[in-house]
Amino acid sequence: MDKLMDNRWFMRILALILALLLYISVAIENDGGKKIIGTTTAKGSSVIEDVPVQLVYDNKNLVVLGAPKTVDVTISGPKVIVQQVKASRDFTVYMDLSDTQIGRQRVKLKMKNLSDKLKYKLSRTYAYVTVQEKVTKTYNVEAEYDKDLLASGYEASTPVVSPRTVKVTGAKNEIQKISYVKATVETTKPITETFTKQAAINVLDRNLNKLDVTVNPSNVDVTVPVANPSKTVPVSVNPIGSENNNVTIKSITTEPKKVTIYGTNERLNGIDTLPVNVDISDITKNTTIDVPVSLPDGVNKVSPEMVRATITVENKMDEKKLTGIKINEKGLGNRYDMKFLSPQSGTIDIVVDGTKEELDNISAGDFDVYVNLAGLSDGDHDVSYIVSGPKNITWKLSSEKAKIRISEKDAQE
């Protein structure tokens, strides 16, 4: 049916049939049982809207701007013919620019192929148009899309346009205004993979106003390469919670020791290790547990999502008190004598922390405690202790400083 409606001859035949039916039915009325048929001389008028305006000009070399696209036509005359013409629209409104000059000018709209039995009136009789030289230039196409639609952790490289160039045709002054030739990709869903879509070309001036030009081709294919970059980083353990009172966490290791994280290169460059939280609150013996790997901000995936943490414990450390450790002095010149004021005994106690096995093998002889008196003159002084002892052992002194008195030997004598 749509094809028939587009056929001009079908429309003409249909209009003729409608006209005949109208002729038969005009002015029929009952009057005392008699039928009176009106004549074909009845007058009528009608408005035909949106009639296209054809332009007659050298379209190979010129461009016409400002011409109206359509006009409304009011026709009047014999009613039958008015109805027929309205149905067929078998007439033409045009502007003759065949002999026109380049520039702005006032041009009359004309009518042709309208029945000479009808009168007509156009909604506008004249129009100002601008005639310019037609120019065609080749431009590179710049693709654009909404980058905010990239899913978290994904990034896209420069879009690929095919074909890369298009030909833009239009009035010379319109061509001179061109600042951008863009292919805008329309997409609404989050972007997580490389895609190719057809995009319409928009030709814009520097203020992003669309220009009245034609583009060949009017559409291009745009491919946007999308990737989810990755990086392999070591796992670091972050113990959370408090140790059980009876044990000490000796070590926590993970398997695997490295995981792969996914996100933008900018975000990945700032991550050198991935912490894994391991709750040690309920650990009372050597244990292996599966721990989920949390995603840092800006990272959209991690592989694997779980690591196995092996926790090794040891019994809580004991303490041992070592008493009567002699305090030695170093750096005192031969001219001086030194006397301990506090502690008067010249000895100190040390409390050592360690496992039972370690403490069993430690004695006072393993520690060297002394005070450095170099550079000190006669008088009373508070001096700090210097202690050396076994490695991997912690200890605490019974006092932080010693109070001593230095005097010259000659002065005593």
Candidates 2.60.40.420, 2.40.30.10, 3.40.50.2300, 2.170.120.40; correct CATH number of 230-315? 2.170.120.40
pLDDT in tens, 5-15: 556 666 677 76
Among 294, 311, 301, 305, smallest CA distance to 256 is for 305
- Find the mean pLDDT for residues 193-207: 95
Looking at the chain, the whole-number percentage of residues with pLDDT higher than 90 is 70
Reading the block at residue 277, the tokens are 């939280």
User: Comparing 203-217, 233-247, 359-373, which segment has the lowest mean pLDDT?
Assistant: 233-247
Report residue 37's pLDDT band, with 50, 70 and 90 as the boundaries: very low
What is the pairing mode between strands 70-78 and 226-227? unpaired
pLDDT at 33 over 80: no
- The mean of the pLDDT values for the chain is 88
Radius of gyration of the chain (CA): 50
Among 272, 181, 195, 197, smallest CA distance to 227 is for 195
pLDDT at 381 over 90: yes
pLDDT at 28 over 50: no
- The sheet with strand 258-263 has its strands ordered as 274-279, 230-240, 258-263, 299-303
CB burial string 333-361: b at 16+ within 10 A, e below: eeebebebeeeeeeebebebebeeebbee
- Find the mean pLDDT for residues 265-274: 92
pLDDT in tens, 283-339: 888 999 999 998 888 899 999 999 999 999 887 777 899 999 999 999 988 888 999
pLDDT at residue 93, as a whole number = 96
Topology match between the domains 2-133 and 141-227: yes
- Decide if 265 contacts 229 (C-beta within 8 A): yes
pLDDT at 361 over 70: yes
Q: What is the torsion angle, in degrees rounded to the nearest 10, for the CA atoms of residue 33, residue 39, residue 43 and residue 46?
A: 80
pLDDT at residue 20, as a whole number = 67
CATH code given to domain 141-227: 2.170.120
Candidates 2.170.120.30, 1.10.15.40, 2.70.70.10, 3.30.450.20; correct CATH number of 2-133? 2.170.120.30
Residue ranges per structural domain of the chain: 2-133, 141-227, 230-315, 318-412
Distances, alpha carbon 267 to alpha carbons 146, 304, 344, in Å:
20, 19, 64
**pTM metric for this prediction:** 0.53
pLDDT in tens, 76-86: 999 999 999 99
pLDDT at residue 360, as a whole number = 83
CATH class held by domain 318-412: mainly beta
